[in-house]
Amino acid sequence: MTRPFAPELLADVVALTAAMCDIESVSGNETQLADTIEATLAAHAPHLEVTRDGDAIVARTQLGREQRVIIAGHIDTVPVNGNLPTTGVTDPEDGDILVGRGTVDMKGGCAVALALACRLPEPAVDVTFVWYDHEEVEASLNGLGRLARTRPELLAADFAVLGEPSNGAVEGGCNGTLRADITTRGRRAHSARAWMGINAIHDAAPILERLASYEPQTVTVDGLDYREGLNAVGITGGVAGNVIPDECTVTVNYRFAPSRTVADAEAHVRALVDGLDVEVTVTDSASGARPGLDAPLAERFMAAVGGAPAPKYGWTDVARFSELGIPAVNYGPGNPSLAHADDERVPIAQIRDVERGLTAWLSASI
């Protein structure tokens, strides 16, 4: 039988973060941590209605409040690389920190959610807490996406907070992302008689020239400035060391402002290579999410947590909430630039600040 987290851990969100990190949960191996979260809710949060879906756990208050909010986070991590168990050290710039896989992305946010789920039996709004699996792998496996497809009623809400690392500040919405393969075609020949062939790699040069000279835009959406980017992220081609290649593919990634649709993004990429003899194939895409900071609940959230909102440049699962019509923001401890790094580390002060901010918001009269 799985043992729950002890009460003393629930009383100290930093210690709880370390304990959650030390339960290794690389994508596909989340079951032990999901079992422990479920056992903890059963032992310490009888006020919550708990639903298990695979390794995703949804825990909801049922207080009959007029409004409902979601606090969510993914429990999986990228692979461990000698960075577990967690350690506590003091950094000259950040003070006391936790170092280890998952401290930033994103068990600090998950620990705050679990502590609040157990500590706040009567929040001012009804709350849905979600801990989900498979965020760090292909989108088809994402636990939040699975819930949205198969159990959307569990995600009904007026506003959502995703505990993605944001340096303990609020980051609204997120950019969208699109990947596409831009392919040139040639004709094979022996490299000793290159004039008999058409070199597809050489013909890719204009694609690279246009990408190198591309000037990305900054687009203001609902008061936040989203920086875009369009870059080559891969190139493949070549048959053998003595053969003129008949195919070359440049893979590009376009990070686009949430005011654009996926169709807009595809049209933008195609326009970049207009006039070139190339084939464009979109291989992956995901819409962005507008900030949603004009919603009344969002305004009260900002008043409770303080600070000024910033845009989220990377894609996050707030976009999944946006697709459901739920305004959502990113708010969690940790520097997103350190996500997936081998020296992943989070300032203890940020974990406590997020805990205080969410506690103040959920406890306030809304």
Q: By three-state DSSP, how is residue 301 classified?
A: helix
Judged by phi (left if over 0) then psi (alpha if -120 to 50, else beta), residue 87 lies in beta
Distance CA(193)–CA(187), nearest Å, equals 12
Buried b (16+ CB within 10 A) or exposed e, 91-124: eeeeeebbbbbbbbbbbbbbbbbbbbbbbbeebb
Q: Which residues pair with 131 in a beta bridge?
A: 57, 73
User: Which residues 6+ apart lie within 8 Å of 158 measured at CB?
Assistant: 67, 68, 69, 295, 297, 326, 327
Catalytic annotation, pick one of 135, 203, 228, 355: 135
Question: Quick one: which of 332, 321, 287 has its CA closest to 145?
Answer: 321
Catalytic annotation, pick one of 30, 55, 76, 105: 76
Q: Is 76 a catalytic residue?
A: yes
Q: Which residues pair with 230 in a beta bridge?
A: 254
Number of continuous H segments (helices) and E segments (strands) in the chain = 10, 19
CA dihedral 21, 23, 24, 25 (to 10 degrees): -90
SS3 assignment for 203-259: HHHHHHHHHHHCCCCEEEECCEEEECEEEEEEEEECCCCCEECCEEEEEEEEEECCC
Q: Known catalytic residues?
A: 76, 135
